[in-house]
Structures are given as C-alpha cells and as structure tokens.
Structure 1
Amino acid sequence: MYTLIDYSLDNELALIGLSRAPVNALGHALRLELQAAFRQASADPAIKAIVVYGHNLPFCAGADIAEFGGADFTATPGLPDLLIELAASAKPMVAAVGGLALGGGLELAMACGYRIAEPKARLGLPEITLGLIPGAGGTQRLPRLIGAEAALEAILSGQPLNAARALELGLVDRIASSAAELLGEACAFARELLQAGAPAQPACPYAAPGAALPENFFTDYTARKSGQWKGQAAPHLALEAVRIACEQPLEVGLQRESELFAEAMDSPQSKALRHLFFAEREAGKVPGIDASLPLRPIRKVAVIGAGTMGGGIAMNFANIGIPVVLLEQKREALDRGLAHIRKNYEISAKRGKLSQEQLEQRMALLFGTLEYADLADADLVIEAVFESMEVKRQVFATLDEVCKPGAILASNTSTLDVDQIAACTRRPQDVIGLHFFSPANVMRLLEVVRGKATAPDVLATALKLGKQIGKLPVVSGVCYGFIGNRMLEPYAREAHRLLLEGATPAQIDRVLTDLGLNMGVLSMYDLVGIDVGYLIRTPLRAMLAQDPSYCRLADELYALGRYGQKSGRGMYIYEGRERHDDPEVLAMAERLAAELGIQRRVISDQEIHDRCLFMLINEGIQILDEGIALRAGDIDLVWTCGYGFPTWLGGPLHYAEHLGLERVLNGIRQYREQLGAYGELWLQPAPLLERLVAAGKTRISKD
C-alpha cells in the first residue's frame, strides 16, 4: 500500500516510519502517504497512540525545495493543512527525532503532541537562509512551546539546536539513551502517556507567548536588529509572524503565517537565495568526472609557507585529523607561524568551540620543518608562497625532485597561470590550483583550478577533500585571476576611473554597500593592501600601457607608501579601525585628472552602480562563454562566498537576470558611447550577452 511509509503495529501503537531517501524531504508523494497512514491509524480502534519516526533515515529535513514554485508544492495535501490535521489528532502522537528535524521536519515534530530525540539530533528552522519564513506552523507553534524570544532567536538565526538545548528549552520532552534505542524508547514514552491518561495535545507552556514580553518588545527588537538585516525582507516577515503569534489565537496566526510565507516565497530575495542553494549542489558536478572514479588517498599534507595564508590552510587539515608538515625557510618564520596557529586555536577555545584537549590534539598534528626532504611522503603539497611566477616555479621544480610519485602538487596562487607552474615539473598531470581565500581557516570558498594537463582523479580528489575540510569547491579553468579575481579587475577598474571623473571614495563605497555588499571595492583594497593590488597588476602592465589612467590613483598611493589600513593611510585615513575621508586623496584625483585630460563632473549614484556592476557582470558572462566557469551558478557562488556579494541578490549573474539582460547590455553600450576613447577601449559587451539579448533570452546560459 505504501512506498514511502513503513507502516507497522506494535500492539496498541501505530508506527509510521518515513522512508523517503535520503533525508525524508516532505514532497507531495510523501505528504500523501503520511496523511493516508495517519488516517489509517486514527480510524483503527485498536490503535491508541501513534509514533512517527524516520525509518532507517533521519527524521525529516523539511520541505522538498525542488518542488517550490511548482504544482506539487501546492497540491493537496499542502504541508500546512496536513500538519493542522495531525495536530488535531484524537490520539497521542510521539515524534521520534533521529538525526535531524529541520524546517518542515521540525514543524511536523511540533504538530505531534510529544517529542523525543536521540542525543545527537539537530532541530531547527533554517528557512531564513532561503529568504523564507517557516510556513507550516513554525512561527506559531514554536513561540507557544519555548517562548517568543527563544523562538525568534531560533527562527532568525536559522541555526539548529542540539538535543540538549532543545530539551532545556522545552522543544523536546526527553532525550533517548542512544540513536539505536530511539524508536524503542519512543514507544515506551507513548505507553507511559497512555497509562497516565495524557491528552493528545498537552497544554502549551507558553499558551500566551506575548504575556511575558516587555512593552514595545517588537518595536525595540526591530530597532536593535534591523541594521544587521541589510535590507533583507524575510527577517521582518518572520518578526511579524511571531508578533501575530503573541497577539492572536493559533488559527488566526496560522492563516497570517501562510500569507507572509507566500509573500516571502514570491520575493526576488528568496528566489535569489534558492538559486544559490541549487547552484551549490550543482557546483561539484564536473563533466567527465564520474562518481565511481577512484580517488588518490590523502593521509598526509604539506604546506609551504607558514604565513597567515599557509597557517590558515594547514589548520583546515589538522581540524579533520590529517597530519600537516609546515615548511618555512627560516626558523623564526616557522616558529611565528606555529605560534599564530596556536593563538587562533586558543581564541576558538575561549569561545567554547574547542576543548583544551582538542586544541592540543590539533597542534600535535602540525610538524614544522626547514627541509624539503620532510615533504617526501606527503600525499598533497600546497604551495602558499609569495605571488610571483618566478618564486612559484622554483618551488615546484624542487617539489618535482623531492615528492613521491602520485603526490598532488597544488598552488594557492590567486592570479598566476597554473599551466606555466605545472610546466616546470615532469608531472603536470599532478598539478592543480587550490585558491584559498583569506583567512583560509574561516573563508568557505575554494577555487579549484584545473590545468590543461590536470588528471581527472586529481581534480576529483581535490573536490572531495575541499568538502571534507568544510569548503565550497568551485572549479575554474586557467586564466588571469581565474573566476573571482578576473571579475574583480574590471569592477575595480571602473571604481578607480570614477575617482578621476569626479566621484569620491566614500560615494563609490556607499553605493556598493547600500546594494548590500559587505564593503565597497575601495575599502576592500585598503583592507587587503594597496601594495598587494599594485603587485597583482604588475603582470598586466604591458596591456594596460594603452590606458594611462588605469588605476592611476592607486599607483600614486602605492608610490607614497599609503598601503591602506596597515599603514594608516590609503584611500582613507585610519585611526585604529575607524575610517575617515582624506581631502588629500580628493586633491590627488583632481590633479591626476587634469594631467590626463579627464573632464571632472558630478557622478550620480546610478552611474556608479551601473558601471561597476555591469562590468562585473559582463566579465562573468565572458568567463562563462570561454568555459573558464562551468555554469553561471558557479560564478555566483564565487562572488557570494568569496567577495561579499549579497546572497539575497543571488550573485552577479543572477542579479543581472533580475535587472534584465537587455538593460545591462543597453547600459554598457550607453557608457561605451558616452565615455569616448576610454569607453571604446574597456566597455565592450561580452558576445554571449549580445547573443542572449538578441535571442530574447532572460537567463544566462552558454547553451
């Protein structure tokens, strides 16, 4: 009768086992069978109580996101109506939460009158991460179970609670002794309830969740938190839903929640976040790389360079129990690097994220050396030295001599040609780029750069290992700057040119942060280092000679030793972390504009937005057309995970689709014509963009 439900009887108990692999997503087919099983148990007079559990699977990961926007999502029974039906059960229902109960899964558990969880269970409402709010009773039932403030924290953070915290808050009634004993103890719990004559739905601990709140709670909460939400709509909708829970009966709240959920789901922000959700799942799929391909074992890693980047890279592997050899040229640098790693771990320990024992275990996995010979048995070697082709080629030539056959040789280069690096070895098939982002122990993005000779098993091993260390690996082909930094170049170029034409650093950065970026491009270079930007531009000097205005102001700042935050002066003046505008920079821009014959004028915010963002988008489309990136979603992941582009805009290419490809193309053409020789040189629409618009396409795809 059932294909997605394991329905069985245990004397007076009906056991409804959700059995839709891999995580019991509540798609339409599972909802239908769950409803049928519930009705069967409800109609059977021999059944006195019901236990819902995950049959050899996690309890439930929530709604099936693949159905969003389609007919199956709204098909009867919809999840909200199904859970209203379950919550009205005349028989006690126990949710046995194994593994996880997230989103609609937790809403299912809350619709049951009672909950028991295994010790390692995670329970949460992560809808906010998709620009949504809980839409099947979560904003109404959770405040009644654990109180409005705790419910708001759980809903707005999107972070799951562990079983112990869930018990403390009252979200679960008890914790099973182990995962193996969960179902048996859930049945015992149900029988206890029957013996005690417990009601099918116990009284809510916070039947009136607003009663305990101070006056003006929601107004004050909004004032405190709205600055953190940066124009995102979903947090405000969630706050409104919880406010309704505090002021209205459950039936009214459920109806209002449904309306607010629909508003969130139809919003461009949620569509953008769902785009990234699916893009992340596609990113690991590489044509020609079969899942059955044997991988190279990685039992020991070596990192060359114990600076900030090298140390951060080493921590990623120590964190998952892989021994790491850290190589430096001088003892002082090595000791300094190891001390910095320890300091990072100590900070984590102080924050309660690590025990002292775990700290020492991770430090014990790190072995410092000054000798290349100690790298001989490493399975993976990652070079993290100075960004110079000459230096890197020297390192790889040495690695070619000392490393064992089959070892993967990786460069952490951010801009240089991986094929040129590989060419100085006798094993180019073993060479790959692994571009970590700083701080490498924190930032999630990992650009995996596939050289023309990189072996398939090397690429596949790198992708799997990236996931194991908690990164989001995105494949890039070889070109200057790969995906992220290549797109950064025209984006930054327009910002620097706008300074000469009449905009101020503060205006440019404000336009970008108002859009939702974490920081403006000029502030970013001050943070990274104007000297770093200068050195990265060095390989481009010959090409850039045709435009004497190219990043000219940044070059002047470099010549003056104004390297940004680390020197106290860059585009801005710094007093500690506090930033101030600098009249000298404005005067310098005026002088350079006069020398270069650039007419200064009032620059609108709209022009700043269009020129910076359209050229960022244009370069991304060109990268896709060249095959450097496999898909548009990969480009969006790089910029949202690595460069602070707002996730609720979905990344640069998704944002272009939202704006309209025709608008982007017309804007580029307009500025190309308006800016004369400069526009003719730099503002050339990507051929793929022109083809897409000519064909009436609204989505960016190479196909």
Structure 2
Amino acid sequence: MPVFRVEPAADRVVHLIMDHPSRKVNVLDVEALADLERALDEVERLERPAGLVLTSGKPGSFIAGADVAAIGAISDRDEVLGLVRRAHASFQRLATLPYPTVAAIDGVCLGGGVELTLACDSRIASEEPRTQIGLPEVLLGIYPGFGGTQRLPRLIGLPAALDLILTGRALDAKRAERIGLIARAVPAAWLMERAHERLELLTTRPEQRRRDRYRPPGMAAWFMDGTPFGRSLVFARARAATRARTGGHYPAPLAALEVIERTRGLPIEAGLEIEAAWVSDLAIGPVCKNLVRLFEQTERAKKEPVATDSSVQALPVRTMLLAGAGTMGGGIAEAASRAGIRVRLRDLNPEALTRALRTARELIEERGRRRRLPSRERDAQLARILPTVELSGVARADLALEAVVEDLNVKRRVFAEIEVRIGPDAVLATNTSSLSVDALAQGLARPERLCGLHFFNPVHRMPLVEVVKGSRTSERTLLTAVALVRRLGKTPVVVGDAPGFVVNRILMPYLREAMHLLDDGFSVGAIDRAMRGFGMPMGPFEVLDEVGLDVAQKVAGVLGRAFPERVAPAVLLDKVVAAGRLGKKNGVGFYRHRGRERQPDPALRALLRLRRPRKSPNLDALAERMVLVMINEAARCLEEGVVADAGWLDLAMILGSGFPPFRGGPLRHADSLGLSRVESRLIALQAEKGDRFRPAPLLARLAAQGGTFTTVPRAEAAPAAATA
C-alpha cells in the first residue's frame, strides 16, 4: 500500500495525502521518502491542476517527523548523506511545482513534517490543542536537515528561525501564525475548506504566493536580517546564548548556527548541500546516538508492558488519598489533580495543609498562564484537591500514597490506619526515598498491594518516578502504579527494593567522593565546577544544599548500614548537620544562601578543620574520581538486578540526577570510555585511595571479555524484585 495518495478534488485541485499504512502516526522513514518520489511523479503527470493541498490521512495527526530509530541505527556517513539528499530532491520538486501548494496541518507536525510543509507555498493549521508545530531535532543531537536551515529563515526571518531551530520548542497554531510560520490558524472543521480558499487566493494574487513563501520583513527585522551588522549581532548573541545553555557539550545547535550563517545569500541548492554535509556528520556522532537512545528509552517507559501476565489489568485511579502535606505533598497533589484525579490530601497539621494547597495553587496558576487555560479549568483543578485532618472518605480511594516523614515506624503507623479503612481492591504506595518496601509491608494484612512511588523534588520539574517492586508486590499493584505515573505525565522506571533504589544508591558514592575530595584539600567551588564542566547541571555540594543535608544524611545512613564493608560513615556530612547547617532550606549548608543567590562560606573550612584549598586544581581529575564511583555503583546495581537492563539505569540517572544526557548515562558513558580503561583507572585509584574504588565484579568480568554494559542480556540483569 502506498504511503502517499494522490486524489483529485473540486475545482481541479489535487490532494496529496500522507497515510503511512504500517505506522500509527505518519513518519518520514525510508519507505515514505521512496513513495513520495512515486507520488510526485504521479502529480507531475497531471494536466496542470489549479493547485495542490498536502494533508494527512490520519485524523488529528499530521507528520511526527523523521524515523528516529533509523537515525539511531545508521552509522555510515554516506548512507545518511544519501538519505538527506533524497529528501532534499523530493522536497525541492514539491517547492518548484508550477502552481500554488498549501499544507493543511491538523495535529502534531514536527521535524521533517515541518520541513515538508516549508516546501509548500503556504501553510494553514487547525486551532486544536493537539496541533503542535516544531523542529525538535537539536534534542536528538542533529539539526533540521531536510531543508529547515534554508527555508525557515527565508520565511520568518533570522531571529525567529534561530529561536525555533536552536531550542527545539513547539508552537501551537496561534503562535505559529503570529511569527508567520503559518498563514492562518482555523477551526479544524474548516481546515480543508480554508486550504482551498488559500489556493484560490494564491492563484489570483501571485504576489501573495511570494509573500507566503518569503515574508517581507519590517524595519527592525530588516536591520537584524538584511544588514551585515545586524546579522553579525544576531549570530553573536545566539552563539553566546547557546554556549551558556549547553556548556558547549552539544554540537548540533552550534553546527546549525554555522550552517545558517555560511549559507545566507547562497542559492538554495548550494545551501541544501552544505546543510546535508554537516547534518550527516552529526548523525553518526556519539552525542546523536546517545540522545536517540535516551529518546527511545523514554518511549519504552511510556508504553512497554511491565506485567508478565497479560490477563492482569491495572486498577483505574479516580480518587487517591495522599497522606502527608509536606515538601512533596503540594506537588504530587497538583500533578494528580491536573490528570483529573480527585485527591484527599490528609495531614494532622493544618498549617502544612495550607502550605501544600498554596503550592498547588501557585503551580496551577503558573501552568494556566503558560498554557492559557480558562479560569474555570484552573478552578476545577484546584477543587479536585480536598484537604483534611481526618481519615474520612478513605474507603472511596483507589490508591493511597503516603508522603510523611522518612521514619519507618511513622510510615508503618500510617499504613496501619489506612489499611483497615481503605477498600479491598485499593493499592497502597509509599513515597519513601530510601526505606525498604518489604520492611514497610511487615504487619500489613495484604502486603502484595504495597509498592513504592519515589517522586523527586521538585515534583513539577522532575520527570522521573522510581516504581519500587517489593518481593511480595503483585503484578496488579505494579501495573496500577506504572499506569498512574504515566497518567501524571511522568516517566516510570521499575526498580527493586534495594537500599537507595537506583538514583540515590548511585548518587551517594558520588556525593561521598566529593566530600573525600574536600577532605583532600580541594575547595567546594572547585569540586562543583569540575562536575558542571563534566556536564552535570549542578555540582555535588550544590545538590546536597538543594536536597537538604539532613535528608542526605538519612539516605547515607541507610546505605551505610546496608553496605558496611565498603561504605564508611559520612563524617563530614554528620559534622555539617550537627552544626545546624541543612542547606538551602535554612540558608546555610556548604554554601550560604540568600534567595536564589549562593556564596562560598569561609567559615566552613574552620568548622570541618579542612586544610588550605589547593591552587589550580586539575578539574578533569576531580571529575574523573566522582564519575568513576558512580559507574562502579551502577555496575553493582545492574549485576544485582535492581533494574532490568542498562538502558533503564541510564534513563533513571539522566532524569533523576541530571547525569548529562549527551553522555548517555553512567553505563553508556563507561562503554564509550572502554571498560578495560575504566577498570584500570579504578585499580589505580584503589591502590592510592582505598577499597571504595575496587572494581565491581560485573565491570571486571566485562572488561576481561571485551564486553559492554549496554549489551548485557536482560536475563543477566534479573527482574529487580528477585533480589529485593
């Protein structure tokens, strides 16, 4: 079956309809590009139509972009170059048809889909919220390579085009209309009628056809785009902003800037050839491969079944009890209410309830302003959160999530109160960051309905939720928990009931190593700069102050008790907490905090009796020590089956700890370094610094075999609950 259909319509108009027969959404894969050539052959044989409308045969969906899996799989530059040139040739054929062409967009239009519409004379789009138009290629380590760097600046001007290409953000139809990316935003029901009207306008007014393809700039835009000084200013500002945002670690945005600057004023054919050459280099590079793998792993998390028994069904969650209105309560309540879930927010402290409601209200208002939600929708969302100091109404809850203080006995008491009141089919969940789900299940009449849902703070910004499967957690409980996390718009990663789960388990050795470096005479600032230079969004001491030093101390204690043979007490952390320094929450930790500002604290050295900081430290060497302990602990997690495979672990660390996405996660990064090299460095550091650097058995075995973490079979990384 063809991907593109050519169908005659009224008034000698022809419709070019994309409807990929083997895909749920339209994707410009190799099959589609080949069939586009055939369809254009058919179009060019027609007796001079009055015009052409490009549209989709999939209701509510236009074109989702290029084939991401193919981008990840191709490793030959010439193969990429041939594919890009093939797309260029077809798009240029569409662009040079001797009659008007209009793209009628309804639904998601991304990447190559946008670039295909840019080959048309004009574009209109439906006003529906589902319509999102953007060029997200930089998020995959490339740039728009099907003509986007050439046609978009010509259409909307240099500043607006750079904004879309360098950020990868998507626009709704109204915003796309305002910047000139589309000619009109119209109701979906009128889309095809308005497309035909647009064709008629372009036919009767040739100057409008030129304007729709190359919009004449205003005076300010002319200065920024049409003069050498203006262009140099735009490019200089864009480069500075891009380097500040990416730290220079992501080559695609800077390559896009270089291509656009080099090709300004060139004929489009010459510009397309330069675009093709540069994007082909990016597509086979490590950053692109790592970002594509991250994208694919995130898609797995959204869709992949987690139960082995296909007959087991998740319990629909319509009402949930949230016990605990502390730091996380307001954020979790807002996320659930936004998903249409009624939330009974229970806390014994009325002031805590007030603070949580204030947090939820602020998040609802902020999101509402950003997405232009009517006030009635905001009010309805807030009304779904019902604060209470009682346990009334618990019987109606489909799921009860506790988020009280990190104390085993307190959490057990909360579950004991809830279990006798909640319905027999309801699921129980804990938001613990470090306590054992199995330990919390002791004393429950039905421990199989308890799991962990470890949200990260702040909830509205952190996409990861660790779904913790205890040794007795049922598949129905696990399915319900994963379905809830997906409904909240978060990314679930199923982990075993091991100390610290995955993210905290791997983070703690990293944070401990930072404190070892501090004790070795390196400054807090130098250590943090080293990890920001590696690509982390914050350094380890910035993270500790943000999380709260008392919270970190509790997690360190759990891991110290679990692994006493290799985890020494966190003496420096204990001293800082004993001095009343809790981090950002009380204004002083490893830094002094005032609002959003943080400053080094000269008093810290005397408090901890630290030696005078070393001058001109080797930041790469500092980063290496901290990264190696993360890799080593990640290898242990994989070997113990805390996660099912390396992809899940890397995803959890990127989303939960900020591990640099361009490096692919700790295990992928280790593979790229070479495991024999990683093992050698660990052995050298073990001889110098002690057994905390002893290579993990799995790492040593793979290094000897010439293997990699990412090819460890799923069977070797057993289901997490098997070791819980």
What TM-score do you get using the length of structure 2 for normalisation?
0.90
2:102 is the alignment partner of 1:94:
yes
1:233-259 per-residue CA deviation (whole Å, 9 max, x = no partner) reads: 222112223323534332222222222
Q: Distance in 2 between matches of 1:572 and 1:321?
A: 40
Q: Distance in 1 between matches of 2:309 and 2:659?
A: 32
Tell me the number of residue pairs that the alignment of Structure 1 and Structure 2 aligns. Answer: 692
Compared CA separation, residues 140 and 46, structure 1 to 2 (3 A): closer
Q: Give the deviation of 1:147 after TM superposition.
A: 0.9
2:226 is the alignment partner of 1:211:
yes
1:4-25 per-residue CA deviation (whole Å, 9 max, x = no partner) reads: 2233222523222111122211
Is the partner of 1:692 in helix, strand or coil? helix
Q: Give the deviation of 1:386 after TM superposition.
A: 0.4
Q: Distance in 1 between matches of 2:429 and 2:561?
A: 28
Contact in 2 for aligned 1:67/1:73 (Cα 8 Å)? no
2:444 is the alignment partner of 1:425:
yes
Amino acid in the other structure paired with 2:7: S
Amino acid in the other structure paired with 2:181: L
Using the TM superposition, name which of 469-478 and 536-545 deviates more: 536-545
Contact in 2 for aligned 1:444/1:471 (Cα 8 Å)? yes
Q: Distance in 1 between matches of 2:567 and 2:133?
A: 58
Is the partner of 2:315 in helix, strand or coil? coil
Q: Distance in 2 between matches of 1:419 and 1:168?
A: 56
* Residue correspondence of structure 1 range 84-483 to structure 2 within 5 A: 84-120=92-128, 121-178=131-188, 180-194=189-203, 204-206=214-216, 210-211=225-226, 214=230, 216-217=232-233, 218-231=235-248, 232-283=250-301, 284-286=303-305, 288-289=307-308, 293-349=312-368, 353-483=372-502
Q: Distance in 1 between matches of 2:592 and 2:109?
A: 49
Structure 2 counterpart of 1:633: 647
Q: Percent identity?
A: 35
1:330-362 per-residue CA deviation (whole Å, 9 max, x = no partner) reads: 333323322332233344456565443332211
Q: Give the deviation of 1:290 after TM superposition.
A: 6.1
Q: Distance in 2 between matches of 1:512 and 1:644?
A: 11
Q: Give the deviation of 1:407 after TM superposition.
A: 0.5
Q: Distance in 2 between matches of 1:603 and 1:543?
A: 34
Q: Give the deviation of 1:684 after TM superposition.
A: 2.5
Is the partner of 1:381 in helix, strand or coil? strand
Contact in 1 for aligned 2:81/2:276 (Cα 8 Å)? no
Contact in 2 for aligned 1:272/1:648 (Cα 8 Å)? yes
Q: Give the deviation of 1:383 after TM superposition.
A: 0.4
Q: Distance in 2 between matches of 1:694 and 1:281?
A: 33
Is the partner of 1:648 in helix, strand or coil? helix
Q: Give the deviation of 1:32 after TM superposition.
A: 1.1
Using the TM superposition, name which of 249-258 and 24-33 deviates more: 249-258
2:63 is the alignment partner of 1:64:
no
Contact in 2 for aligned 1:692/1:700 (Cα 8 Å)? no
Is the partner of 2:123 in helix, strand or coil? strand
1:208-252 per-residue CA deviation (whole Å, 9 max, x = no partner) reads: 883067263112332344212212222211222332353433222
Structure 2 counterpart of 1:36: 38
Compared CA separation, residues 38 and 351, structure 1 to 2 (3 A): closer
Compared CA separation, residues 492 and 38, structure 1 to 2 (3 A): same
Counterpart selection for 1:689 from 691, 699, 709: 699
Compared CA separation, residues 28 and 290, structure 1 to 2 (3 A): farther
Q: Give the deviation of 1:93 after TM superposition.
A: 2.1
Contact in 2 for aligned 1:640/1:647 (Cα 8 Å)? yes
Is the partner of 2:393 in helix, strand or coil? helix
Contact in 2 for aligned 1:496/1:550 (Cα 8 Å)? no
Compared CA separation, residues 290 and 103, structure 1 to 2 (3 A): farther
Amino acid in the other structure paired with 2:286: P
Contact in 2 for aligned 1:415/1:482 (Cα 8 Å)? yes
Q: Distance in 2 between matches of 1:568 and 1:473?
A: 33
Q: Give the deviation of 1:547 after TM superposition.
A: 7.7
Amino acid in the other structure paired with 1:83: F
Using the TM superposition, name which of 657-666 and 570-579 deviates more: 570-579
Structure 1 counterpart of 2:3: 4
Structure 1 counterpart of 2:719: none
Is the partner of 1:51 in helix, strand or coil? strand
Q: Distance in 1 between matches of 2:251 and 2:90?
A: 27
Amino acid in the other structure paired with 2:252: A
Is the partner of 2:133 in helix, strand or coil? strand
Q: Distance in 2 between matches of 1:73 and 1:224?
A: 29
Compared CA separation, residues 289 and 49, structure 1 to 2 (3 A): farther
Compared CA separation, residues 45 and 292, structure 1 to 2 (3 A): farther
Q: Give the deviation of 1:418 after TM superposition.
A: 0.7
Q: Give the deviation of 1:617 after TM superposition.
A: 1.1
Amino acid in the other structure paired with 2:232: N
Using the TM superposition, name which of 641-650 and 385-394 deviates more: 641-650
Contact in 1 for aligned 2:242/2:253 (Cα 8 Å)? no
Q: Give the deviation of 1:486 after TM superposition.
A: 0.6
Q: Distance in 2 between matches of 1:701 and 1:588?
A: 47
Contact in 2 for aligned 1:106/1:125 (Cα 8 Å)? yes
Contact in 2 for aligned 1:144/1:206 (Cα 8 Å)? no
Q: Give the deviation of 1:199 after TM superposition.
A: 8.9
Q: Distance in 1 between matches of 2:115 and 2:275?
A: 13
Using the TM superposition, name which of 3-12 and 88-97 deviates more: 3-12
2:533 is the alignment partner of 1:514:
yes
Q: Give the deviation of 1:695 after TM superposition.
A: 1.6
Using the TM superposition, name which of 12-21 and 481-490 deviates more: 12-21
Is the partner of 2:593 in helix, strand or coil? strand
Contact in 2 for aligned 1:91/1:200 (Cα 8 Å)? no
2:621 is the alignment partner of 1:607:
yes
Contact in 2 for aligned 1:303/1:325 (Cα 8 Å)? yes
* Residue correspondence of structure 1 range 11-30 to structure 2 within 5 A: 12-20=12-20, 21-30=23-32
Compared CA separation, residues 543 and 200, structure 1 to 2 (3 A): closer
Contact in 2 for aligned 1:176/1:182 (Cα 8 Å)? yes
Contact in 1 for aligned 2:468/2:496 (Cα 8 Å)? yes
Amino acid in the other structure paired with 1:696: G
Structure 2 counterpart of 1:669: 683
Gaps of 5+ in 2: 714-724
Compared CA separation, residues 123 and 575, structure 1 to 2 (3 A): closer
Amino acid in the other structure paired with 2:284: D
Amino acid in the other structure paired with 1:692: L
Amino acid in the other structure paired with 2:245: Q
Q: Give the deviation of 1:304 after TM superposition.
A: 0.5
Structure 2 counterpart of 1:597: none
Q: Give the deviation of 1:501 after TM superposition.
A: 2.2
Q: Give the deviation of 1:603 after TM superposition.
A: 6.5
1:147-200 per-residue CA deviation (whole Å, 9 max, x = no partner) reads: 11111111112111111122222222223332x442344244334544556897
Is the partner of 1:308 in helix, strand or coil? coil
Amino acid in the other structure paired with 2:405: F
Amino acid in the other structure paired with 1:116: I
Is the partner of 1:26 in helix, strand or coil? coil
Compared CA separation, residues 97 and 576, structure 1 to 2 (3 A): closer
Q: Distance in 2 between matches of 1:350 and 1:14?
A: 41
Using the TM superposition, name which of 367-376 and 136-145 deviates more: 367-376
Q: Distance in 2 between matches of 1:31 and 1:432?
A: 47
* Residue correspondence of structure 1 range 560-639 to structure 2 within 5 A: 560-590=579-609, 604-639=618-653
